Amino acid sequence: MNVSLSAWYPVKAIALLLAIAFVVSIRWRNHHPFPHFGPANQITSVRALIVALIAAAIGEPAAPAFAVGAVVGGAAVTLLDGVDGWAARRTNMASAFGARYDMEIDALLILALAILVWQFGKAGAWVIASGLLRYAFVAAGWAWEWMRRPLAPTRRARVVCVGQIAALMIALLPGITPPVSALVSAAGLVALVYSFALDTMRLWRARRSLAA
């Protein structure tokens, strides 16, 4: 199938990648405890590049080739997610900066996939909430100090994150059509809402225990 990308596709991809690089450069100087960027963060940067290419498909023609490309790219990003963590531990360069960088790339991937699921008519606009939950959680921290407290990573959060990405990729597949695609997307969203609710309760309980 011959599908032409618009002239804006590379512009969107480069602009997003430059925005990510700008934020990372600021955070790296202030929050990275090592003198070198490190192989783990380099792998995460490759993940960021792939996510930028996926996100740039937003606004392009809703062609099956783009959906397949987004699914393949999302699978690559997910597989590399385990590699960067392994590299950080292997080189003794695990850091809060690296964990946050990794998390934000996951969040951006979920947002891009969710928008594409809606754009391709696989689910209603409500599916975009899957990608906005992380940013709503961060925004809540601006309003309430107790929401800014660090959270220890959990296996549950990791499984739900991977499950949400998988659900959106399944929904995007050309052979998956409504209502199945919408049901799969909804299942992922419900699991994500549940996970964020548990994290919010953990922070609330920590706030109450400190106040006591």
Domains of the chain with CATH codes:
8-211 (1.20.120)
Question: Residue 37: pLDDT band by 50, 70, 90 thresholds?
Answer: confident
Measured between alpha carbons, how far is 201 from 205 in angstroms, rounded to an integer?
6
* Average pLDDT of the residues in 196-204: 92
Question: Residue 165: pLDDT band by 50, 70, 90 thresholds?
Answer: very high
Place of tokens 């920590």: 206
Q: Could you report the per-residue pLDDT of 101-138, keeping only the tens digit for each? A: 999 999 999 999 999 999 999 999 999 999 999 999 99
**pLDDT of 84 above 90:** no
Measured between alpha carbons, how far is 127 from 182 in angstroms, rounded to an integer?
8
**Token couple for 94:** 């695990």
Residue 156: Cβ within 10 Å count: 13
pTM to 2 decimals? Answer: 0.93
CA dihedral of residues 194, 67, 58, 52 (deg, nearest 10): 80
Q: How far apart are the first and last CA of the chain?
A: 64
- 136 vs 153, residue with greater confidence: 136
Contact 97, 27 (CB under 8 A): yes
* Average pLDDT of the residues in 43-51: 95
Contact 111, 131 (CB under 8 A): yes
| Nearest residue to 193 via CA among 98, 127, 102 | 127
The SS3 call for residue 165 is: helix
Backbone angles phi, psi at 122, to 5 degrees: -85, -20
